[in-house]
Chain A
Amino acid sequence: SQQGEEDPQALSIQEGENATMNCSYKTSINNLQWYRQNSGRGLVHLILIRSNEREKHSGRLRVTLDTSKKSSSLLITASRAADTASYFCATDPRTSGSRLTFGEGTQLTVNP
């Protein structure tokens, strides 16, 4: 079963614009991670935010976490055509060790 739910399911923007994707989850977590998947490829880890952190940056990526609302957002600034991919949030629940539970993903299309 999928714990995370991403919103929107699909997002289409122009190069240079910012893209925001949201993730909601149901149970308490150790950390929340974001992964990217290009078409026909495996997933690539982007960023991890721990339950005691509220915001984290990595290059053009900004992730926020609100544990009271059980939600996270991923912001990609100044998007590029190469950012076109599916983006998944994955939660690491407190009780299940290293079992990541992935959401259904947001399909991002960046038009040149």
Chain B
Amino acid sequence: EAGVVQSPRYKIIEKKQPVAFWCNPISGHNTLYWYRQNLGQGPELLIRYENEEAVDDSQLPKDRFSAERLKGVDSTLKIQPAELGDSAVYLCASSSQGGETQYFGPGTRLLVL
């Protein structure tokens, strides 16, 4: 069984540029999560989807961050414009509906210069 797939694995951009991350969850997993992990910290939830509905986006900085999961499968997280403080690892995870265990992708490491 394929795990959670994320791309790209690494991204270096200049501040004020846009950037997008893509995630394909484990097949059949209804719930998808985007996390941000700063260096030396644990992951912090940005947004959670149940199918195509964002059910928890309270921690998503909506002035510059957006996300979509149009068909309830893969998802894209976008930052526009990026700031220096956005440098972090962006992790995607998925779980089955009602599942308590989350399965993480390898993450996208973003560096904003």
Query: B91–A4 contact, CB under 8 A?
Result: no
Query: A48–B100 contact, CB under 8 A?
Result: yes
A96 — which chain B residues lie within 8 A by C-beta? 56
Query: What is the minimal beta-carbon distance from B46 to any residue of chain A, in angstroms?
Result: 11
Q: Report which of A31, A43, A98 forms a contact with B43, defined as CB distance below 8 A.
A: A43
The answer to whether the Cβ of A2 comes within 8 Å of any Cβ in the partner chain is yes
A99 — which chain B residues lie within 8 A by C-beta? 45, 48, 56
Bound Cα distance A68, B42 (Å): 24
Query: What is the minimal beta-carbon distance from B51 to any residue of chain A, in angstroms?
Result: 13
The answer to whether the Cβ of B103 comes within 8 Å of any Cβ in the partner chain is yes
The answer to whether the Cβ of B14 comes within 8 Å of any Cβ in the partner chain is no
**In the complex, how many residues of chain A place their beta carbon closer than 8 angstroms to a beta carbon of chain B?**
27
Chain B, 29-45, contact with A by CB distance < 8 Å: what is the 0/1 string? Answer: 00100000000111111
Query: A42–B107 contact, CB under 8 A?
Result: yes
Query: What is the minimal beta-carbon distance from A98 to any residue of chain B, in angstroms?
Result: 6
Bound Cα distance A103, B40 (Å): 10
Query: A92–B44 contact, CB under 8 A?
Result: no
The answer to whether the Cβ of B87 comes within 8 Å of any Cβ in the partner chain is no
Query: B42–A4 contact, CB under 8 A?
Result: yes
Q: Report which of A4, A42, A98, A101 forms a contact with B106, defined as CB distance below 8 A.
A: A42
Bound Cα distance A2, B91 (Å): 16
* A to B CB contacts below 8 Å, 27 in the list: A31-B100, A33-B101, A35-B104, A40-B109, A42-B4, A42-B91, A42-B93, A42-B104, A42-B105, A43-B91, A43-B93, A43-B104, A45-B101, A45-B102, A48-B101, A90-B42, A98-B31, A98-B95, A99-B48, A99-B56, A100-B45, A102-B42, A102-B43, A103-B42, A104-B41, A105-B40, A105-B41
Known contacts A2-B42, A41-B106, A90-B42; 6 further A-B pairs (Cβ under 8 A):
A42-B91, A43-B104, A48-B101, A99-B48, A100-B45, A101-B45
Task: Report A's interface with B, CB cutoff 8 A.
Answer: 1-2, 4, 30-31, 33, 35, 40-45, 48, 88, 90, 92, 96-105
Task: Report B's interface with A, CB cutoff 8 A.
Answer: 4, 31, 40-45, 48, 55-56, 91, 93, 95, 100-107, 109
